[in-house]
Structure 1
């Protein structure tokens, strides 16, 4: 009876202790863990900017480089020279208009036009637009005209005074011997770039040398200013009619530092992770990528909630254990019953352990899939280039084929169509490798062809290697090499090792991939020429979440997952420093007979 009367008081004291510990844990999580989690996911968002910025700047730079030499080539036309020498000659204007229209269609330019030395347009590719045509309009106020008239290459970005379209202008002089008799200008619009940016996970802003938003994925931001414009700059913009003055209002962007290359920016009440780069020096443009912070903070909140639940379960488990201990003296007579209960609990625990082991295997498979998708995400910039390059060529060939058909040149059109088919096959092969790499593997294992695994892994990482100009040397294996394993999971192991080697070697580096017979099996090795494995990291490099990379560059799961995959197939994954510099990682696999590609 004494023990029975103490039970409620013991239980109340224990519940109070649990509540105090729980409050202290939640407070500690919020004060100590939340800022670090928030910063970690914000830095992950900043890494997304590192992909968006090169894609946006490279596409703009490619367009500028493509159109820069065109005015000089067009200026060599005898038709334009004849027009400028004798503007009133019968048929001179019509011939020049037709030639400029064909040129604009061939090079995908918005407008091509020729002006006299006074700046008046004499002929233009848009001659058929009536009032919208450039013919008869004077453009001597534009800087690109005066730059070309002085003998140089004129360049300028502005809102068109006739067309009302934003565009980049290139201009060059037309010479009759040493004398400049006119100016040829080429304009291309930028709307297509902005359409590609819209719908992406980040916003893009391109500002000119004065801080005016020349291009943006958000239309309301056009012509807004990111810095104060003094009277002199406003006067120059008005004189050149570059932008509408009534729209040059501040964007009200507030920024505070997040890291060395990223800021937290507030624009119109929305908060973003912002990264900028001065990437188009000749145009004086700066590109800024903005990723909303809401997604990063949501991820951080979910992780914090998981931490809190784990901590709560641990506290409740400890509290239950303590409660059983405090009540032990009062329940001695129930010992035999508790032994029976414990036996049942052990049986349940064994069943739970088996279920936990199955869950661990499913989790490992999920981590493998996440690792593959993360690798594809890190290589997105290189893969984008690998697709964009043939797509641009396909577009060019298709346009030229249309022009050839219009002229009746069917043989040239057929050759262009053949080239388009070849480029489509190339993109299909790349897509097939990526699809096979990204699919989720089964659990079974069996005999697989080692040369096919290496071929598919190299195809996945090849765009990344090309982007960083990394040389890959491959030696072996023999086509008859068959090992025990799963195609997709072993491919993931080779991709992880090649990606790590590329990271260690750095841009312009070298990676060596080899495969050779081993007693009772085969050995695959990947060597880099980087700094090697630090001494203090050699005993931990296969531990989960251990990494020597910079914060935000990796979770430290690649080698750990690869180690377990190889072990499941009865093999061994090892790594050490190479005597001649760098590091070498190897996979020792058991030989098998036959090929069963369905065993993944």
Structure 2
């Protein structure tokens, strides 16, 4: 009691100090709870935003991969050698086997094979392997039956021989209006899944029923992300396709782990499955812990010296914001580069079929001139033969121009701007789109040679990419027998290239968000083409703007003059 009396006396004399101290402790506890919650929510929001961008990059890479493979069966279905084999020319089997083997090696396909109308495999890229498909009958497969019925089909399933999962893309082969067979490509995603495994905490693709198909963790494959209605499913078929009759549920992410999902929207030129979704697993725990620790440190500094901490807290927050902005800027630059390349490759895939026509035509002419030249030489008509060979050289130069333009357009990376005539980029873009322009019977207006010779300071491939995007949009809007005009004008500092069409134009409600990410008027578009194009132009010191035209849409590229 005698010990407590002095303490009580001290408390009585310093009541205000004691009450103030208790108030500081209470406020500190409340502030600690509030700061912890705030920092946690902020870190979770920031992590989810970054993860959404990463998921879109993964989706773009997978879309490009699938777009590439979807063209293979279409091209082979129209190949004369394939048609000859299905018509009964069995002498073509060895040659076609080797050719399919070469195409599979070049494209990275797991297998390419040809079946007759009954499902019997006549030729395959794996003809010389123990797991060869030659002689096997796949008439029971859904992709075979659906391709016979609808013309094209896809199916994800385990291989009947290899038991390795993959996507089967099938295309019907016709001759004289009659179905004579089916060509199919099997795509396996082993390398893609390995890349996901090394670069992410976890990533997987689900079909429309929520079943995991492609995954960075093999243990997740053929698990379900939601309840399955087994009454509506054929368990025997599931067992044959996936190796399981019932799908175990995929466990929810532990702790703060979250799933970020984005639909795998497929372009209009593909035959790939609908309803696929790509899912990215993220763990925000490190970011949350760092944010919470930063908040508590700030609070501790406030308790130590409130007055001094005001300035220090502002400094710390600015430094943290600077670090965050630097990280966001770095990620944004990487995302922009990857999205630009993905956009370029997707565009290249859309125009590649037309480029094939540009190459096949001169190749056929080269053969005719060569055969004629040989006969002329045999008859001693040297001058006439020399004329034929000169034409062969011209056609070879033409092929070189087309393939060179394709190679230049597909290259990755950013080059320093240089002085170049603006007509060089215009000619390259029109070369890539020439076949589509002719098919649509477009009335195309081009700038005069003298105007096209105006020199600008730019980078050929990136200017060409912007022009291809704008021209693709203009062709979509103009439609068959429409009109597209390219004009060039210049003043003292800048050159302006205008791409206009006579289509329906841009709706008034869309113009304000025209250059915003994911804003689009197309059913199959994702709304990144114009955003990427404007970024490219501004990086080159210019700009891209929309202008209201007399009819249709009008886009203006501003480029610095040399």
TM-score range, shorter chain: 0.5 to 0.7
Match of 1:201 among 87, 93, 108: 108
Alignment of 1:19-418 (within 5 A): 45-60=65-80, 156-157=87-88, 159=90, 165-166=91-92, 190-191=96-97, 193-199=99-105, 200-202=107-109, 203-219=111-127, 220-227=132-139, 262-268=154-160, 269-282=163-176, 284-294=180-190, 308-309=281-282, 311-312=284-285, 314-324=287-297, 327=300, 331-333=303-305, 336=308, 339-340=311-312, 343=315, 346=318, 350=322, 353=325, 357=329, 360=332, 364-365=336-337, 367-395=339-367, 397-398=369-370, 413-418=385-390
C-alpha contact 2:466 2:533 (8 A) present in aligned 1? yes
The Cα shift of 1:51 comes to: 1.7
Give, in whole Å, the separation in 2 of the partners of 1:402 and 1:576.
58
Give, in whole Å, the separation in 1 of the partners of 2:296 and 2:397.
70
The Cα shift of 1:22 comes to: 10
Match of 2:489 among 498, 501, 516: 516
The Cα shift of 1:52 comes to: 1.5
1:583 aligns with 2:477: no
Match of 1:545 among 511, 518, 523: 518
C-alpha contact 1:253 1:265 (8 A) present in aligned 2? no
Instruction: Flag the 1:263–1:483 CA change in 2: closer, same or farther, 3 A.
Output: same
C-alpha contact 1:46 1:275 (8 A) present in aligned 2? no
Question: What's the secondary structure of 1:478's corresponding residue?
Answer: helix
Indicate the structure (1 or 2) with the bigger Cα radius of gyration.
1
Question: What's the secondary structure of 2:487's corresponding residue?
Answer: strand
Instruction: Flag the 1:46–1:436 CA change in 2: closer, same or farther, 3 A.
Output: closer
Match of 2:532 among 556, 561, 586: 561
Counterpart in 2 of 1:421? 393
The Cα shift of 1:520 comes to: 6.3
C-alpha contact 2:100 2:124 (8 A) present in aligned 1? yes
Counterpart in 1 of 2:424? 452
TM-score by length of 1: 0.58
C-alpha contact 2:120 2:137 (8 A) present in aligned 1? yes
Give, in whole Å, the separation in 2 of the partners of 1:294 and 1:319.
39
Instruction: Flag the 1:324–1:542 CA change in 2: closer, same or farther, 3 A.
Output: same
Instruction: Flag the 1:564–1:328 CA change in 2: closer, same or farther, 3 A.
Output: same
Question: What's the secondary structure of 2:535's corresponding residue?
Answer: helix
CA displacement 1:516-565 (0-9 Å, x = unmatched)? 356964432212344432443222121123333345xx543221122233
The Cα shift of 1:221 comes to: 1.5
Would you say how many aligned residue pairs link Structure 1 and Structure 2? 448
The Cα shift of 1:264 comes to: 1.9
C-alpha contact 1:46 1:273 (8 A) present in aligned 2? no
CA displacement 1:223-269 (0-9 Å, x = unmatched)? 321226xxxxxxxxxxxxxxxxxxxxxx8989999xx9533243232
Instruction: Flag the 1:382–1:294 CA change in 2: closer, same or farther, 3 A.
Output: farther
Higher mean C-alpha displacement, 570-579 vs 203-212: 570-579
C-alpha contact 1:205 1:217 (8 A) present in aligned 2? yes
Counterpart in 2 of 1:181? none
Unaligned runs of 5+ in 1: 68-109, 111-154, 160-164, 168-187, 229-250, 596-600
Q: What CA RMSD, in Å, does the superposition of the two structures yield over aligned residues?
A: 5.2
C-alpha contact 2:113 2:121 (8 A) present in aligned 1? yes
